[in-house]
A and B are shown apart, each in its own frame.
Chain A
Amino acid sequence: MMLNNRIRELRARFRFTQQDLAAKVGVTRQTIAAVEKGEYVPSLLLAMKICREFGMSMEEVFQLQEESE
């Protein structure tokens, strides 16, 4: 099971750099990069903070994906 996300796309749409988003949600730039690449699954709190910055629901930003898909 994997957690896909649209953070990179949404960042581009909102014209946020990784550093901007990182500062807004209180993490390092490296963490945003790792979340975008799918290398790090964020905590519920961080995921909700990211969703709040984009003004979207959790389902719109994060999607659960089966391994075989």
Chain B
Amino acid sequence: MKLSVIYMMNVIVLGLFGWAMVTYYDAASQFQRLMSGSGDGVIINITPIFITLLIVSIIGFIITRNKRRNNKGWKEALLLPSELCEDDEREKTLTAHACRNAYIAMMFTSPLLIVAMTLQPVVSKQFPAYPILVLLFLPFVQISVFYISLRRKLR
């Protein structure tokens, strides 16, 4: 499977997961108000969760079937990310290089995200699910850096 397709699928899944978690976060806030006696119930919008589960299942099925066709074992097909399925030593070297870059990106991004989290009391009034967005930014950066590193090496 093409690297760009895998990257797009990862970003879509990450975005959908964030969307579903925002809904959960909203429900948790309602539950918290209910427990403190100021709320009158919990309403969960199941549309994001349903769409996320549906699309993740479809993408998971396509990726797993694709890996099984490439003679990968069930364990590797189900659990190992597609971009880490290396066929030889050169691909292992490229992956190692991309992982190194993703790790470096994490070292720079993490402190920035922690700083961003300190804004949570200010931002949470307008956007309650702000921490989820901040937390999702880290895997997004790592996936993107990994993808860009591989693309540069494969060019």
Contacting chain B: which of A10-18, A25-33, A52-60?
A25-33
Q: Give every chain B residue within 8 A of A65 (Cβ-Cβ).
A: none
Closest to B86 in A: A28
Give the number of residues in A that approach B within 8 Å (Cβ atoms).
Answer: 11
Bound state CA distance, A44 and B87, in angstroms? 18
Bound state CA distance, A45 and B91, in angstroms? 15
Q: Give every chain B residue within 8 A of A27 (Cβ-Cβ).
A: 87-90
What's the minimum C-beta distance from A62 to chain B, rounded to whole angstroms?
Answer: 16
Bound state CA distance, A11 and B89, in angstroms? 21
Q: Give every chain B residue within 8 A of A34 (Cβ-Cβ).
A: 90
Closest to B89 in A: A43
B93 within 8 A of partner (CB): yes
Which of the four size classes fits the interface of chain B? Answer: under 10
What's the minimum C-beta distance from A38 to chain B, rounded to whole angstroms?
Answer: 13
A2 within 8 A of partner (CB): no
Q: Give every chain B residue within 8 A of A30 (Cβ-Cβ).
A: 90
What's the minimum C-beta distance from B137 to chain A, rounded to whole angstroms?
Answer: 33
Bound state CA distance, A30 and B89, in angstroms? 11
Bound state CA distance, A27 and B93, in angstroms? 13
Mask, A2-22, CB within 8 Å of B = 1, is 000000000000000000000
Bound state CA distance, A43 and B89, in angstroms? 8
Bound state CA distance, A27 and B90, in angstroms? 8
What's the minimum C-beta distance from B79 to chain A, rounded to whole angstroms?
Answer: 23
Bound state CA distance, A31 and B88, in angstroms? 8
> Max chain A CB contacts within 10 Å: which of B89, B90, B91, B93?
B90
Bound state CA distance, A34 and B88, in angstroms? 12
Closest to A26 in B: B88
The one of A28, A40, A45 in contact with B87, judged by C-beta atoms closer than 8 angstroms, is A28
Q: Give every chain B residue within 8 A of A40 (Cβ-Cβ).
A: 90, 93
B:41-94 near A, CB below 8 Å? 87-91, 93
Interface residues of chain B, those whose CB is within 8 Å of chain A, are 87-91, 93
Extra pairs beyond A27-B89, A28-B90 (5, CB < 8 Å): A27-B88, A28-B88, A40-B90, A43-B89, A46-B89
